[in-house]
Amino acid sequence: MKPFQLQSYYELLEVPVSATTEQIRRAFERLNAMYADDQVALYGLVEAGSASQLRARLQEAMEILCDDDLRLIYDNDLGLPPRVPVPPRRDEEDDEQSSAQLAMNELLTGADRALQSTHPYVPFSYVSSVEAPPPPTPPPAVVVAPPASVPPPLAVLPDATPTPPPPPAVTTSAQPPPLPPVLSGEDHPERSREAAESKGAPSPPIEPVIAAPERPAAPFDFAQGEPLPVPSAPPPAASAPLAPPSAPAPRPSPAQAPQLAEAAAIAVAESQLARVSAAVDARDARASAPRPKPPDLPPDTEFNGEVLRKVRTAMGISLQQISEKTRISARHLEGIEADRYAALPAPVYLRGILMNLARELGLDGLKVSKSYLQLVEKAKG
């Protein structure tokens, strides 16, 4: 029982969570045409206006899911494991996907099922997670307990059980090796092993997803195309600090559980974002000069549009530049700086925009988005 107002973006567009941008676009076009006002299938079903509401939501879903950064944040909120970017096809011979890729798709299908069957989707409220839905059951493959020596999977969702302290957020200034938003073998040892076994291969050297082609004699290799955003060997240490297996986790009292869960959720989201921004930074580092330092702000600054505008002008960046860099439309950026809350997109979308904008301004994305969204909430009453 989920009318469209309560459906997740994936459910709205009737695509699996593993869908490609192209599939999402096609689904949007099909559904947008299907729910046009003059469609005979809608005759007598709903009052006038309902169809346009639905179309507006389809549009929103498409916009967010077709933006890699926003989709990452959204997925994270749904509790989905990070997606594997599907390499563009170059040849029919590339049809044979790597086993790890197949395994990942399986995992995502599992997540789909878990999402559809158990996850009561409730529209987001970023500010309070007390009323938020319980975390969805992670896909079965993730539930399988890994061997004791292996750190728990990254994608496991926070719940009320004792949670390890949130990981130290990776700062962009540290410039760590760019981590792609893929699951490394360590994250899902079971998966990789299963996949390897299904191919009859000897059991793992664990390889990163989208590893080098398995057939060395393949006529097409990745060097021919664009370099894939995968490091040759993801440092195993990368996932270790996220969940130290032997660290004595302080047993929280049950009352603390929601706060801890929230903190952990935020930490996970943040680390995801840090990965993305690290990747972006690494890409930009070669081309652009180091960013000017943002002006010092008191710690309790309320980030309204005016403050953001001042920071931006102090740094000598134009709206146009930010728009080009972040692919956020200038209209939205202007709206944010002018505090035109009513004209701004839905909070999910806005949050992503604010995170991106803050990153450009050298500000703490989480602080900025939280503060700004509070203002939006207040304005709504």
Partner 1 sequence: MSQGGEAENKIIEFPRPKPPRAPRKPRVVKTTRARRIVAVGGGKGGIGKSLVSANLGIALAQRGSSVVLVDADLGGANLHSCLGVPQPQVSLSDFIDRRAETLEEVAVPTGIERLKLISGARDVLDAANPRHAEKQKLLRHIRSLDVDYVIVDLGAGTGFNTLDFFLLADTGIVVLLPEPTSIENAYRFIKAAFFRRLQLMERTLGCGELIADALAGAPGAAKTPFELLTQAREKLPEAYARLEVAVNGFRPQLVLNQARTRADHELGSQVSGAWKKFFGLDLGYLGAVAHDDAAWKAVRAIKPLLIAEPGSTAAAGLLHVAENLLSLPA
CB of 5 to partner 1, least distance (A): 8
Task: Give 122 or 144: the residue with its C-beta nearer to partner 1.
Answer: 122
Among 22, 37, 39, 327, binds partner 1 (CB under 8 A): 39
Interface with partner 1 includes 118 (CB under 8 A)?
no
CB of 133 to partner 1, least distance (A): 14
Of 42-50, 203-211, 349-357, 367-375, the segment contacting partner 1 by CB under 8 A is 42-50
- Residue the block writes with tokens 């930074």: 281
Interface with partner 1 includes 201 (CB under 8 A)?
no
Interface with partner 1 includes 62 (CB under 8 A)?
no
Interface with partner 1 includes 43 (CB under 8 A)?
yes
Which x/- pattern over 316-335 shows residues binding partner 1 (rule: CB under 8 A)?
--------------------
For residues 301 and 323, what is the distance between their CA atoms, to the nearest angstrom? 24
Interface with partner 1 includes 35 (CB under 8 A)?
yes
Task: Give 14 or 302: the residue with its C-beta nearer to partner 1.
Answer: 14
| Cβ count near 45 (within 10 Å) | 9
For partner 1, how many residues bind (rule: CB under 8 A)? Answer: 19
Interface with partner 1 includes 349 (CB under 8 A)?
no
Window 15-34: residues binding partner 1 (CB under 8 A)? 34
Task: Give 40 or 174: the residue with its C-beta nearer to partner 1.
Answer: 40
Among 36, 46, 56, 233, binds partner 1 (CB under 8 A): 46
Among 19, 27, 54, 155, binds partner 1 (CB under 8 A): 54
Task: Give 39 or 259: the residue with its C-beta nearer to partner 1.
Answer: 39
| Cβ count near 238 (within 10 Å) | 17
Interface with partner 1 includes 9 (CB under 8 A)?
no
Interface with partner 1 includes 41 (CB under 8 A)?
yes
Of 2-10, 147-155, 231-239, 344-352, the segment contacting partner 1 by CB under 8 A is 2-10
Of 40-48, 112-120, 334-342, 359-367, the segment contacting partner 1 by CB under 8 A is 40-48
Task: Give 2 or 331: the residue with its C-beta nearer to partner 1.
Answer: 2
Chain positions contacting partner 1, by CB under 8 A: 1-4, 6-7, 14, 34-35, 39-46, 50, 54
